[in-house]
Structure 1
């Protein structure tokens, strides 16, 4: 990176990397904490252990400072223990997010007294944008005006609320959301910009934290008008058992408005065929992935290409 002239480096550090000491020889100028929600409990065993793994990042020497999301309960714990800059919507935040406006074109908000806009959709992306602004200001001395110019040009990360646009009269988005919190964030974001019905197709991975399956089903049924539970990456588990565990969460909210279709391609096809003008369809769980893991096999499968193919078969195609 240095030989190529790179001046700044930004790294997302996983809890696995921290526990396995993969970054302990690095000295970060600035460290930041966005949030912590249930995931990887098959590895950590408990949320307490998961938090301790993340907290260890703040034990590394940070010359430039520490930034946390003060609206997150675990971020608040870090703020009690370390000298941090807090970012958030509450009045106690050192750098405040205010006046959030959302629509299908993106998001607008005021941060630290400056107005920003971005094509990224959703309140969670507003929070992520604010954290990014705080980081580059503190670590690199980049001005708010420069941040304004940069953020308006931002584009979604592939597979993260990625819009599939083939001139269809309804919204279609593919997102990697594979935890209950991520699914909640994405569905809430889409609900705010959907005048019609909000439909979601998703499943849960096998040989991973099974405790989140029912939670994801409950959240999907609470926030979407129609839920189709399907196969994700079942790995060595029975896809029907995974689906039933998700369905238990769905049925805890309502007995109607959800169904199971284990064939992921067929599930996406049927939901897209049922969509009406003004509706939004979310295909969640795999995002950027281009495969499915079934038993010991890796099978080509890309949600984005699948949706484009189906839309083309329905007569929709980008001009």
Structure 2
């Protein structure tokens, strides 16, 4: 696209020719190719303005900045473009270069401190069962009709516009009808979804997370609230006070779901077993008793969210109800392994106090003997939640093994000391910094009737300690270890 065409509807100032042809956006200098428009934005750790010369040498046809001082001092043979907000421009330009593909799709975007991945996959499964072609985008990756679709992009909960819009364009070309995506607070705050035509925005819950990134809890809430303004219709958790507040302010068609009452779609628990729940679904002129293959209030709430979205999309109630009992959880969400020795291992992504409480609360009711919990907290993230997670774990666990998560530049021993300040005085626990050794210790200590919850990393396949990222998967390690224990019998 000619630069003049790309810029004609956007406020900007240009030095140089606007007749240059540009093919795509790039903000990582090592990824720049001939014909790119280089976005020289300031990141958390690096400032792309330092790499402008290298970008030009790599073939960039134009440079975009949002620093007027830097713009005034630039001297170059290629065009420099100043825009007032480089993140908003990146979203707009990415969408325009791809022909605004989101307009040809029905898009459901899901936000919430916990549950985004689960709900997105549940909705994706239900849409597939209605014979629709579906793309699911989120923490676990990009899936087309349940199959991993694109693995060559940065793993973010909400994709950057430079990746999102080309994927949406490819989805259109592959006759995809629905896209279900996770909308993280950082994705919303940094305008990644600004030029995405969202049909249904879903609000699940609000807990404390990413506060260092946003600066305050209030800014975190404001970031989440942006989804309401970007969506044509909204679905909200009627059991969550924040979500109800969003609903009061939003002048959109809206529908509430919940498990406690006073909602449009109510999923009421009738009976709960070790692995399934019998519930009554009530909405408008419909009522149906169904069995769902999950336990715990938070999973029932997730199911209610998915059912409400399907109702908002006008799928027949009976058709949806018929398929709910066949739903499965995504990788790393309450993923359960049964050992031949009679104990159970559960791997879950829970890395906030609310998520950990939801998992342990659900599991505790099924434990016949002891509940072991193996976890830690990530480094460079939300220090304040560590003590709270310790308190939650201590409330439910018979024995805790503190280990390492992605501690990054922080000392894992210090992280674990901060977690342990939340333990009750009588808490049985130990510290084993090697995550593999910690998991193996728990499995070797467990006996028949015990349950081991390994929390924090779920689907993740790497671990970052210091500046080094190495392959490690809780799921793979547990599967291999259980096989080894069987061989040792």
TM-score under structure 2 length normalisation: 0.61
Distance 1:190 1:316 in 2: 28
Residue 432 of structure 2 is matched in structure 1 by 261
Shift of 1:166: 4.4
Shift of 1:45: 1.8
Distance 1:118 1:10 in 2: 21
Give ranges in structure 1 of 5+ residues lacking alignment: none
TM-score under structure 1 length normalisation: 0.93
Q: Contact 2:341–2:447 at 8 Å: present in 1 too?
A: no
Q: How does 1:188-199 map to 2 (within 5 A)?
A: 188-199=361-372
1:99 is paired with a residue whose SS is strand
More deviation, 166-175/124-133: 166-175
Distance 1:99 1:120 in 2: 12
Distance 2:257 2:186 in 1: 25
Q: Contact 2:259–2:300 at 8 Å: present in 1 too?
A: no
Shift of 1:303: 0.7
Shift of 1:58: 0.5
Shift of 1:272: 0.8
1:314 is paired with a residue whose SS is helix
2:234 is paired with a residue whose SS is strand
Paired residue for 1:75, among 229, 235, 243?
243
Paired residue for 1:238, among 411, 421, 431?
411
Give ranges in structure 2 of 5+ residues lacking alignment: 1-170
Shift of 1:316: 6.5
1:231 is paired with a residue whose SS is coil
Q: How does 1:1-319 map to 2 (within 5 A)?
A: 1-62=171-232, 65-82=233-250, 84-112=254-282, 113-139=287-313, 141-250=314-423, 253-315=424-486
Shift of 1:167: 3.2
Distance 1:44 1:245 in 2: 22
Residue 146 of structure 2 is matched in structure 1 by none
What CA RMSD, in Å, does the superposition of the two structures yield over aligned residues? 1.7
Distance 2:351 2:261 in 1: 31
Shift of 1:244: 0.5
Distance 1:190 1:306 in 2: 21
Q: How many residues align?
A: 312
Distance 2:410 2:370 in 1: 32
Structure ranking higher on relative contact order (CA contacts 8 Å, 6+ apart)? 1
Shift of 1:51: 0.9
1:2 is paired with a residue whose SS is helix
2:318 is paired with a residue whose SS is helix
Shift of 1:100: 4.4
For residues 154 and 90 of structure 1, do their structure 2 counterparts lie closer, same or farther at Cα, with a shift above 3 Å needed?
Answer: closer
1:104-143 Cα shifts (integer Å, max 9, x gaps): 332331121222322233221110011011001112x112
Shift of 1:259: 2.1
Q: Contact 2:259–2:268 at 8 Å: present in 1 too?
A: yes
1:162-207 Cα shifts (integer Å, max 9, x gaps): 0123434111110010110110000011112222211110010111
More deviation, 85-94/206-215: 85-94
Q: Contact 1:101–1:108 at 8 Å: present in 2 too?
A: yes
Shift of 1:6: 1.4
